[in-house]
Structure 1
Amino acid sequence: MKHLHPLAVAAAALLLAPAAHAQAKLNIPQASPAVRVRQAFSTSFIELNYSRPSLRGRVAFGGLVPYGQVWRTGANAVTTIRFGEEVKVAGQAVPAGTYALLAIPGKTDWTFVLNRDTAQWGAYAYRPGLDVLRVPAKAAPLAAPQETMSLTLENLRPAAADLVLAWDHAAVTLPLTADPDRLVLKQIAAAMKGEKKPYMAAAQYYYNSGQDLTPALGWLDEYIKAHPAEYSGYYWKAKLLQKQGKNAEAIAAANQSLALVKDDKNEVAKAEYTRLNQAVLAAAGAKK
């Protein structure tokens, strides 16, 4: 009788083992937890997808992450950044889309890279020919070491934000800017050709972004014509007139708003618009 090799017997036994002997899957903490950050920015958004490595007793830059070499800017799959509209990264224009965010660390001087290959694992298959841009950045020391790497959007403004990488003893900032005025003004121009014209929202945007207030006042007149009993239209007209230095007209519009708001049964709204109109009156120099 032919004898089977012991290894073959063992392998056959494993194949024939009952399903009950299969090992259960364990849910354990990830060594480098995955993160997805989506932040409203300008007229759209910025989205980051990355994994956060930790020090665990190691040195990050110049150790775990060598100086002068392309790094995935995180762990596991390459970090990606998605822009919902055209932005400028450190002053260089980048179209809307998703990009691999790579970095080349140095002791003080860094380089950030946007690359078209968003499917690479790590930076092992990095191809410089797919770079969209390379921009320099400076590393600043952290007062206390940070155990786990982070990518955050800081100093958020309507048209700008800072992408900040922090880990170990270093923080590196990459400035991002947008041009929301160009996009919003195009939206307003297109919307004003339609049936549902956004008179109020357009006038408010012109006021808040420092645009020419002449067309905005015309839009508010159209809004008031359609909503003669609504006090908010007169209030915003008063604000725009006061900003133009037309104080007498601003006072008249604010007083009209106050006369209408007296009939509002919502006490919270009544108190708020009373306060707002009184502020316009004070700015316009109305006598008490």
Structure 2
Amino acid sequence: MKPCLCFPFLLFLAGSLAASTHTQAQQTLRIPVASPAVRIRQDFSVSFVELSYSRPSKKGREIFGKLEPYGQVWRTGANTNTKIRFGEEVKFGGQTVPAGTYALFSIPGPKEWTLILNRDTAQWGAYTYKPEMDVVRVKAVPVTLRDPAETMSLTLENLKPSAADLTLRWDKTQVSVPLTADSDAQVEAQIAQAMQGEKKPYISAAQYYYNNNKDLNQALTWLDASIKQQPSYYAYYWKARVLQKAKRPDEATAAAKQSLELVKAEKTPSIKEEYVRLNQQLLADIGGKK
């Protein structure tokens, strides 16, 4: 009789299954990373700015001039190179940069930094950095922080409709580069195109002109066109605001009162209360400045 191989085979199978299970457990293990990755998308101008980078920590080390030597190209973060994406043409430190994605490198210095936008976004760190692929280089003056920053951060600060500061903080150092965009030209082009269509953005265009100190007579023309199409408390409220800004208080008062009259038909109590309050405040402001 031939010897039975069933028992050895079963042992082999059990061992294989255990090894397979152990391998799978290793493959799915998640542990905290030393420099966690982050992606930030910020509305900016008429589009956005997006930052993708990994955030190293100080961990008791002296960073600039030691861990990250002065005068050498740095990835401006950890792991893969830091990336910045612009949804439209911008000025980076005063230099024009087309819309697109760029690697953000930097050269730290004790009194001056160089910030670099480079076309090669696929490299690890700065080991294969090629200066011939630079798009722009700009200078920035570092500021010493009173309280050291444990973890490196890149943020967009001092946000305005078409301006912001790209700001880096780590350890005792802060560096900022201004970002600007020509949103006005883009908005004007959008308005011109939209006014050729069937649904003309009269009120939105008037609000833009009001908020950006542009031609108030043109804003009033658009508001009157909206009111002619369909009288509304919203359009009359904005007409009152534009007239007040144009220093035409009597006409502004009449428009605010018309808005109060029309808002009586509003069926949503919270909206009705809001526009009653806004118009009453506007009337008080007009009366106080006559």
Q: Give the TM-score normalised by the residue count of structure 1.
A: 0.90
Q: Which residue of 2 aligns with 1:247?
A: 249
Alignment of 1:120 with 2:123, yes or no, is yes
- Root-mean-square deviation (CA), in Å? 1.7
Which residue in the other structure is 2:280 paired with?
A: 278
Deviations 1:45-74 (A, max 9, x none): 000000111122222111111110000000
- Contact 1:251 1:286 (8 Å CA) reproduced: no
SS at the partner of 1:117? coil
Give every structure 1 segment of 4 or more consecutive aligned residues whose post-TM-superposition deviation is greater than 3 Å. none
Question: Within 5 A, what are the aligned runs for 1:64-83?
Answer: 64-83=67-86
Q: Return the match for 1:199 from 202, 226, 234.
A: 202
Structure 2 residue corresponding to 1:212, chosen from 211, 215, 222? 215
More helix by share: 2
What one-letter code is carried by the residue in structure 2 that aligns with 1:222?
A: A
* Cα deviation, residue 286, structure 1: 7.6
Q: Aligned with 2:78: secondary structure?
A: coil
CA contact (8 A) 1:87 1:178 kept: yes
Q: Which residue of 2 aligns with 1:141?
A: 144
Give the C-alpha shift of residue 265 in structure 1.
3.1
Match of 1:232 in 2: 234
Q: In the alignment, which residue of structure 1 is the partner of 2:185?
A: 182
Matches of 2:279 and 2:34, distance apart in 1: 56
Letter in 1 for 2:280: Q
Shift of 1:112: 0.2
Shift of 1:267: 2.4
2:263 — aligned with what? 261
* Letter matched to residue 257 of structure 1: S
Q: Distance in 2 between matches of 1:184 and 1:94?
A: 19
Q: Separation in 2 of the partners of 1:246 and 1:91? A: 40
Counterpart-to-counterpart distance in 1, 2:125 and 2:288: 66
Indicate which of 16, 19, 31 corresponds to 1:18.
Answer: 16
Report the alpha carbon displacement of residue 144 of structure 1 after superposing the two structures with TM: 1.7
Contact 1:242–1:283 (CA under 8 A) maintained in structure 2: no
Give the aligned partner of residue 40 of structure 1: 43
After TM superposition, the score normalised by the length of structure 2 is 0.89
Gaps of 5+ in 1: 1-16
Q: Which runs of 5+ in 2 are unaligned?
A: 1-14
